[in-house]
Protein backbone atom coordinates (compact mmCIF):
# COMPACT_ATOMS: atom_id res chain seq x y z
CA UNK A 1 0.00 0.00 0.00
CA UNK A 2 1.36 3.39 -0.96
CA UNK A 3 0.82 6.36 1.33
CA UNK A 4 2.50 9.12 -0.76
CA UNK A 5 1.85 12.00 1.63
CA UNK A 6 3.04 9.94 4.64
CA UNK A 7 -0.16 10.72 6.46
CA UNK A 8 -0.53 10.03 10.16
CA UNK A 9 -4.22 9.45 9.43
CA UNK A 10 -3.34 6.53 7.14
CA UNK A 11 -0.93 5.06 9.68
CA UNK A 12 -3.51 5.30 12.48
CA UNK A 13 -6.19 3.76 10.25
CA UNK A 14 -3.94 0.77 9.52
CA UNK A 15 -2.99 0.44 13.19
CA UNK A 16 -6.70 0.30 14.06
CA UNK A 17 -7.03 -2.86 11.95
CA UNK A 18 -4.93 -4.84 14.43
CA UNK A 19 -6.85 -7.78 15.86
CA UNK A 20 -4.34 -10.56 16.60
CA UNK A 21 -7.05 -12.76 18.11
CA UNK A 22 -8.94 -12.50 14.80
CA UNK A 23 -5.88 -13.14 12.64
CA UNK A 24 -4.81 -9.60 11.75
CA UNK A 25 -1.46 -8.24 12.92
CA UNK A 26 -0.05 -4.76 12.34
CA UNK A 27 3.72 -4.64 12.72
CA UNK A 28 5.75 -1.49 13.22
CA UNK A 29 9.34 -2.71 12.97
CA UNK A 30 11.96 -1.44 15.38
CA UNK A 31 13.22 1.77 13.74
CA UNK A 32 16.45 1.30 11.83
CA UNK A 33 16.56 -2.46 12.20
CA UNK A 34 18.58 -4.37 9.65
CA UNK A 35 18.24 -7.63 11.57
CA UNK A 36 15.86 -10.42 10.67
CA UNK A 37 16.06 -11.67 14.25
CA UNK A 38 14.86 -8.30 15.57
CA UNK A 39 12.07 -8.19 13.00
CA UNK A 40 10.88 -11.66 14.05
CA UNK A 41 11.03 -10.63 17.70
CA UNK A 42 8.97 -7.51 16.91
CA UNK A 43 6.36 -9.76 15.32
CA UNK A 44 6.32 -12.35 18.09
CA UNK A 45 6.09 -9.65 20.74
CA UNK A 46 2.83 -8.51 19.13
CA UNK A 47 1.56 -12.04 19.62
CA UNK A 48 2.41 -11.98 23.32
CA UNK A 49 5.83 -13.63 23.38
CA UNK A 50 8.73 -12.09 25.31
CA UNK A 51 11.90 -11.07 23.48
CA UNK A 52 14.55 -13.78 23.34
CA UNK A 53 18.04 -12.49 24.21
CA UNK A 54 19.52 -15.55 22.50
CA UNK A 55 18.02 -14.45 19.18
CA UNK A 56 20.93 -12.29 18.02
CA UNK A 57 21.52 -13.73 14.55
CA UNK A 58 18.76 -14.92 12.25
CA UNK A 59 18.58 -18.69 11.88
CA UNK A 60 16.30 -21.00 9.94
CA UNK A 61 15.10 -22.36 13.30
CA UNK A 62 13.86 -18.92 14.31
CA UNK A 63 12.02 -18.58 11.02
CA UNK A 64 10.45 -22.03 11.45
CA UNK A 65 9.33 -21.21 15.01
CA UNK A 66 7.80 -17.93 13.87
CA UNK A 67 5.96 -19.60 11.00
CA UNK A 68 4.65 -22.28 13.35
CA UNK A 69 3.37 -19.63 15.76
CA UNK A 70 1.74 -17.63 12.97
CA UNK A 71 -0.04 -20.77 11.79
CA UNK A 72 -1.12 -21.81 15.30
CA UNK A 73 -2.41 -18.31 16.02
CA UNK A 74 -4.19 -18.39 12.66
CA UNK A 75 -2.70 -15.10 11.51
CA UNK A 76 -4.08 -14.50 8.05
CA UNK A 77 -3.15 -10.86 7.44
CA UNK A 78 0.11 -9.10 8.28
CA UNK A 79 0.43 -5.36 7.76
CA UNK A 80 3.98 -3.98 7.94
CA UNK A 81 4.15 -0.24 8.49
CA UNK A 82 7.14 1.76 7.23
CA UNK A 83 8.22 -1.18 5.04
CA UNK A 84 10.17 1.19 2.78
CA UNK A 85 12.68 1.65 5.61
CA UNK A 86 13.47 -2.07 5.84
CA UNK A 87 16.49 -3.52 4.12
CA UNK A 88 15.55 -5.52 1.03
CA UNK A 89 16.81 -8.72 2.76
CA UNK A 90 14.05 -8.23 5.31
CA UNK A 91 11.54 -8.05 2.46
CA UNK A 92 12.77 -11.52 1.48
CA UNK A 93 12.12 -12.69 5.04
CA UNK A 94 8.62 -11.21 5.06
CA UNK A 95 7.84 -12.89 1.74
CA UNK A 96 8.99 -16.25 3.16
CA UNK A 97 6.75 -15.76 6.19
CA UNK A 98 3.80 -14.87 3.98
CA UNK A 99 4.28 -17.86 1.71
CA UNK A 100 5.01 -20.48 4.34
CA UNK A 101 2.50 -19.25 6.95
CA UNK A 102 -0.17 -18.79 4.25
CA UNK A 103 -0.94 -15.20 5.08
CA UNK A 104 -1.61 -12.03 3.13
CA UNK A 105 1.21 -9.54 3.44
CA UNK A 106 0.58 -5.80 3.20
CA UNK A 107 3.77 -3.75 2.88
CA UNK A 108 2.93 -0.13 3.65
CA UNK A 109 5.23 2.44 2.06
CA UNK A 110 4.89 5.92 3.52
CA UNK A 111 6.03 8.92 1.53
CA UNK A 112 7.96 6.95 -1.10
CA UNK A 113 7.76 3.88 -3.25
CA UNK A 114 9.99 0.84 -2.96
CA UNK A 115 13.68 1.07 -3.80
CA UNK A 116 15.01 -0.79 -6.82
CA UNK A 117 16.37 -3.68 -4.72
CA UNK A 118 13.06 -3.90 -2.86
CA UNK A 119 11.10 -3.89 -6.12
CA UNK A 120 13.20 -6.75 -7.43
CA UNK A 121 12.15 -8.80 -4.39
CA UNK A 122 8.54 -8.53 -5.59
CA UNK A 123 9.14 -9.89 -9.09
CA UNK A 124 6.97 -12.96 -9.53
CA UNK A 125 4.79 -12.16 -6.51
CA UNK A 126 1.04 -11.94 -6.85
CA UNK A 127 0.68 -8.33 -5.80
CA UNK A 128 -1.61 -5.37 -6.02
CA UNK A 129 -0.77 -1.72 -5.41
CA UNK A 130 -3.22 0.28 -3.32
CA UNK A 131 -3.42 3.96 -2.57
CA UNK A 132 -5.33 5.23 0.47
CA UNK A 133 -8.56 7.10 -0.21
CA UNK A 134 -8.18 10.90 -0.58
What is the full per-residue pLDDT of the chain (134 aa) written as tens digits?
888 888 888 899 999 999 999 999 999 999 888 899 999 999 999 999 988 888 778 888 999 999 999 999 999 999 999 998 899 899 999 999 999 999 999 999 888 778 888 878 878 777 666 765 55
Handedness of CA 87, 25, 130, 101 (dihedral sign): positive
Closest among 96, 27, 99 to 63, alpha carbons compared: 96
26-58 tens-digit pLDDT: 999 998 888 999 999 999 999 999 888 887 788
Exposed/middle/buried for 3, CB within 10 Å: 0-12, 13-18, 19+?
Answer: buried
Amino acid sequence: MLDPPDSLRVQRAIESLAAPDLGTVVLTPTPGTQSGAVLLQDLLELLGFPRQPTWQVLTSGMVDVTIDILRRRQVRILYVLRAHRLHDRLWDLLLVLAERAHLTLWLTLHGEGPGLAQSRRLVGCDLEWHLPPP
